[in-house]
Structure formats: structure tokens, C-alpha cells
Structure 1
Amino acid sequence: MIMKGYVIAGANKAEWRDFPVPKINPYGALIKTEIVSPCTTDIHLLQTGCASIPHLVGKAMGHEMVGTVQEVGSAVKNFKPGDRVVVSACQPNFRSMEAQAGMPKLNNTSQYWIDDPDRGGSFIEQYYLLDADMNLAHIPDSVTMEQAIMVPDMVSTAFEGVRELEIKYGDTVVMLGVGPVGLMGVCAAVLKGAGRVFVIGSRKVCFDVAKEYGATDFIDYHDGDFVKKILELNGGPVDGVLVSGGSSSSITEALNLVKRGGIVSNVTAFFADENTVLSNVAWGYGYSEKTIKAVECTGGRWILEKFLSLVEYGRLQPEKLITHRFHGMGKIEDAVQLFIDHDRSLIKPIVYFD
């Protein structure tokens, strides 16, 4: 059997190719793709021809998807054909020593970390997952697939980054970058008990959604020194900063914003910069007790189903991120082009495979 996938064929070159449907392992599953959503990581890989992850050349793009179980391996216990599922973007190996040590995501089985000839990304008609019971999540009946598609990366990345901020009730935090991950960071910070929430960006569409999610202050970085402005408005440094956009210089900006003993949690991949240079002044010459954390998206069934529970019971409305909807898998090209064109009306696009 043959299926189609949208692959990176070189720098700024993507195309549709035919792939054989793989034979799954006993723990694995085949998922019929229902909805996908491109993100900035996909665009970076496309524009550079996968320079940072060369084994992805010729494989399907994408890592955000929801779908319907088509087939499961003989050892799968918790899923069956017909189940609506979220596919984990980060796919921890829960049968690893890292998992036993309490850090399963450090052994990641997603296509970005392991070169498996049978597996690429989610922009494909049927996605092959190595371990269904560990890295699929049931979508509750009352949760739509549009809501669920934001969970595997946007929610998972932002909520993990905010968890690492160790927010206490009433803390003041900054979202440095208020794209889709930063917006989910606003939600997570408010749920964690933050008081004042600053967001830094420039697009009205993002500020409008940030306000709905509970942000209190909106700073356009085009309007001058945003670090100075926040320090003035807050009467001093903030408790924590989530870096969810910008360049590697954002780390120094975050260090200038955060108090002594505060935390900077970074969830941005700085693909464009070989080195990150920190200001010793901002870092307090190395003895400010400021912590910088490099945070990867979390994954796995347990945490994804917790996030879906927040959606189920109305605590989280991730569908507000969706600004563009396309129908037909061939429309992936149109969704990707929105990022390339820097469309200012864009937060997140989704593509139905119908």
C-alpha cells in the first residue's frame, strides 16, 4: 500500500512523495491523519534544507497532528481502531533508563531525534507511532479535534516552560514573545496563580487573544526599550520570564528583566545562531542566583490527557489560537506559505486531511 507525504527535498524545496505503509511493531500504531498544524520549526527546517537535522531530508514534515487509530500492534492495550487521538509531538521512550531516572523526554523517539527509515513527520496520510500506549492520548468526547490539535506542541511546550518557572501565587511574569507558544504560556501562568502578566510582541491579533487569556500588560517591542519600560511599570524586576520568541539575545534581555533569584525559562530553539552570548552585567557577573533553564516540549499519554482534561472542563480554550483553516491535505502548502510571508494575521493554521 502507498500513502502520500509532504517532504523537505532541499533548502526552500518541498514536494509530495509516495511512501509505503510501514509494518508496525507490537507496541506501535498507524494513525489516520485528520488535522495537522505547521509551526515555525517546520519552516526553519524547510528554509535550511534540514541543515540542523539532516536525516529529515526526504521525510515527511510536521509534528502536530490529531487523528483516528487505524491499526495497533499485538501488545497495545489501551487503544483500538476508531479511537480519536492526539499524537505526542515529543515522544519519550518510557522503556528507557532515562525514564527510570525520572526524565523520559531525554530519550526521545520522535523523528527529530532518531533516524528510522519507516518514520517521518505528521504531514502524511498515515502516521507510524512506535509506542501507542505511551505516546497517544485519548481525546474526550466533548473536546473537538480543533481544540486537541493545539495540545501536542503549543500547550505542551508552553506549559512545560511555565512549570519550570516555579510560579508562586501573585508572581509577576513576562512572556518574551507572544506567538502561539507565548499565548499558551499566558494561560499556564494564570492557571499557576500569576498576578501581573506582561506580554511582549507587536501583532494586534496576538495581543487581543493574550488579553482574553488573562494578560495584563501589552508591550510592543517596536516602541523602544521594552526592558526599561517593564522595569519602570513593575517598579523593578519581575519574578520570572518565559522566552518563547526572538533570537539568542533574548536570553540577556530576560536576565535584565528577572530579579535576583528569579528564573528564565527558554522554550525557543535558536537555530539561526551558533553561539549565545550572555551579558555578565545582566547575569550579575555569575553570582546573581538567576537560573536559566533550556526546556524541551514534554510528551507522553499521561501529561497530554491531563492537558486535554483542562480543555474538557473549560479551564483552557486553545482553539483561540487558530486563525486560518484549510481543507484538503494539498492545502499544507498554503498553510506553510503564511509563515514564509510573515502574515501578520497569523497565529496558527490548521489543515484538515479531508
Structure 2
Amino acid sequence: MEAFALIERNRAEIIDLPKPVLGSPYNAVLTPVAVSVCTSDVNTVYGSGSKKPDNLILGHEAVARVIKTGEKVKDFKEGDIVAVPSMTPNFHDKDIQDGNFLHAGANFSANTLGRSTPGVFAREFEVADADLNLARLPEGVSLGNGLMCTDMATTGFTGAERVNFGDTVAVLGIGGVGLMAICGAALRGAGRIIAVGSRRASIPLAYEYGASEVISYKDHNIVEYVLKATAGKGADVVIIAGGNDRTFSDAIDMVRYGVGKVVNLKLFTGDGSMEIPKFSSGRGMSGKSIYMELGKGGRVRMERLLAMVKYKRFAPEKMITHTFNRFENVVEALQLMKDKGNDVIKTMILTGW
């Protein structure tokens, strides 16, 4: 079958690989209808992370059609169109009973598609625990909206879940995750939402999704801006969805003492340290909280997001700036996400399968 796979670091190609075989009676095999390339795919190919398996099939954002189910799958059948969450928790591990959905049994156990196990960029792919991970696409929900829920919306909303109504929120980064963090914060009832970013295509959407203002890190000292905007107190919540190695310490600098929350949704590539500044952390006694998060996964999570789309609470498909009509365009989509021009937010590839 056709599959877009990592051949070696800095090199990914469409190659011929064996079709998946059901590894469990609880699993399903699907064929992708629409896929999207994520910045994480770029990091997998061009980053400096851990060694990946040979010919690893990339991809973790898909709306797909079920083509085969294990004998224990009850709720899905051949032909169903489903959203596939980028995070597929290991529901059979006892750590789930501790609420540890993303790292049950092993670190990053939910975060495997296209990272340590074959991903969705192939004519066929397997998903574990179909009844617990897949979500049927509701009538009236477009492929684009479903696709943007699988990773961007669930990840951005994960950051927004720390927001209380009336909070002042700073969102650092206005790519797909940052835009969804803005949207989620607005839906949670945030008061002022200060967005930081400069990508031209994202700025109008940041306002549409709920930003009060959008400032560029190129034109402002963002810490000074947020502190001045809050009369020196700092933001109630700072959500990191972009930036560089300094952004983590900037977030700590600009969040409130005592009750302030920093939520990191960004992958910091490479080795070294993410520094916590001594002064703005109160030399370790500031009462500021730090959360390091992945997007949440699982069927119920995805069904809730799709319900919000169905009933017009938000429309994540507006982030799709580039649509392609053949699977082979996944190569171009990866390059677009690597180059990150001002006109790019998210891609959608309609596979034609």
C-alpha cells in the first residue's frame, strides 16, 4: 500500500509498505478520507528527537472510513466515517484508574500514532481500542471541521481548561493550537485575551475566535506589554502555543503571583533546559502553577468537540488555508508546514480513497 514514511532523519517519502493486520479484537483498520500535516510531523522528520523506527508511517490527524473491525468492536462498522483523535489512550492499563490517560503504562503511551507506531498517512492504518478512541462524524459536520478537532481543537482547548470566567489570558503563538486556545478561552468566559503572534493569515482569525488584541513579539516586549496591560499584576493564565526557548521563562514572568497558571502546549525540541527565572518565580515561592500538557484524546473528548461544532459553537475548519485533492500532495503539505509562510495555518489533503 502507499504510505508516507520517515526513511531517515530529514527524509520522508511515499513508499510501498505492507497493509496493517489487526493486532487485537478491539482494534479497527481504517482508510483516511482527509488528513492534515502537523508541526509535530515536521519535528519528527527534521527535528532532533529520539530515534524513530525504520520506515515509520507519519501522521496523526485524520478523518477516516472504517474498513475492518475486530470481533470485540461493538459500536463501529465498515463504512463509518470517523474522527481519529491524535491521542489514543491505553485504556487497558490500570494507570487509567488514576486519571493518567496520556501516560498510562508508559510515558507518552497515548501519543504513538506517527511517532512510535504507524500513523495515518497510508492507504490503511490501525487504531487501538476502536470503541474507546474513534468518534463518528455527526451529520452536518464537514470533513474539515472534523479534521481540525482531532488535534488542533483538543490541544488548544486543553490549555483553555485552566481558564475561569473573567480571567485575563495571554496566548503566546497564533498557529493552529494557539488559535484554538484563544477560541477555547473565549468559550470558557475569559475577559481580556491578549494574543501574541505575527503570522498574517492568523491575525484575523485570532480576533474572530475571541482575541481582544493581537500583538507582535517583533514590535513589543511581550512581558512588559502584558504586565502594563494588567497594572503590574500579570495575566491570570498564560498559554504557550508557540515561540522559542525563551518563551517559557517569559510566560512565568508575565503570570500572576499566587493564583497564576502557565499552561505549556508547545514541544520544545532538542536537549538542554527550560529555564524558570528566579525573580519572577518568587525565588521558588511565588505560588504560580505550571502545567505541561498534551492534547487530550479518546472518544468522549472527540464527541464533545464535534457536538460543539455541530451546534455552531465554533468552526475550526476556518484554519485550513491550503486544501489538496490527492494523497501524494502530503509531500507538499509537509514542506508548507516546515516553511511556515505568512499565508499558512493548516493544510487538508483529501486522499480520494
The normalised TM-score by structure 2 is 0.94
Structure 2 residue 82 is the aligned partner of structure 1 residue 85: yes
The one-character-per-residue Cα deviations of 1:180-200 (angstroms, maximum 9, x if unpaired) are 100000110011110100000
Cα distance change on mapping 1:52 and 1:272 into 2, 3 Å: closer
| AA of the residue aligned to 1:149 | L
Equivalent in the alignment of 2:226: 230
Pick from 102, 105, 112 the counterpart of residue 102 of structure 2.
105
Equivalent in the alignment of 1:191: 187
Contact 2:57 2:114 (8 Å CA) reproduced: no
Whole-angstrom CA distance in 1 between matches of 2:49 and 2:229:
40
Q: Secondary structure at the match of 1:194?
A: coil
Contact 1:66 1:87 (8 Å CA) reproduced: yes
Q: Any residues of structure 2 matched to 1:1-354 within 5 Å, and which?
A: 3-24=1-22, 25-48=24-47, 51-107=48-104, 108-111=109-112, 115=116, 119-163=117-161, 165=162, 167-236=163-232, 237-260=234-257, 261-354=259-352
The one-character-per-residue Cα deviations of 1:290-333 (angstroms, maximum 9, x if unpaired) are 01110111100011100100001000110111000011000011
| AA of the residue aligned to 1:67 | A
**1:137 positional shift:** 0.7
Q: Secondary structure at the match of 1:52?
A: coil
**1:110 positional shift:** 4.4
**1:274 positional shift:** 2.4
**1:338 positional shift:** 0.9
**1:113 positional shift:** 9.3
Contact 1:169 1:192 (8 Å CA) reproduced: yes
Whole-angstrom CA distance in 1 between matches of 2:61 and 2:115:
17
Q: Secondary structure at the match of 1:221?
A: coil
| AA of the residue aligned to 1:18 | D
| AA of the residue aligned to 2:119 | G
Q: Secondary structure at the match of 2:247?
A: helix
**1:168 positional shift:** 1.8
Q: Secondary structure at the match of 1:105?
A: coil
Whole-angstrom CA distance in 1 between matches of 2:32 and 2:3:
11
Contact 2:249 2:274 (8 Å CA) reproduced: no
Question: Once structures 1 and 2 are overlaid, which stretch shifts more, 172-181 or 245-254?
Answer: 245-254
| AA of the residue aligned to 2:28 | A
Contact 1:53 1:112 (8 Å CA) reproduced: no
Gaps of 5+ in 2: none
Q: Secondary structure at the match of 1:351?
A: strand
Q: Percent identity?
A: 34
| AA of the residue aligned to 1:218 | V
Contact 2:81 2:137 (8 Å CA) reproduced: yes
Whole-angstrom CA distance in 1 between matches of 2:244 and 2:115:
27
Question: Once structures 1 and 2 are overlaid, which stretch shifts more, 181-190 or 249-258?
Answer: 249-258
| AA of the residue aligned to 1:231 | L
Count of matched residue pairs:
345
The one-character-per-residue Cα deviations of 1:100-136 (angstroms, maximum 9, x if unpaired) are 1122222224435985xxx411111111112100110
**1:53 positional shift:** 3.4
Q: Secondary structure at the match of 1:345?
A: coil
Gaps of 5+ in 1: none
**1:281 positional shift:** 1.0
Contact 1:56 1:120 (8 Å CA) reproduced: no
**1:248 positional shift:** 2.8
Whole-angstrom CA distance in 1 between matches of 2:114 and 2:93:
15
| AA of the residue aligned to 1:156 | T
Cα distance change on mapping 1:57 and 1:162 into 2, 3 Å: farther
| AA of the residue aligned to 1:205 | A
The normalised TM-score by structure 1 is 0.94
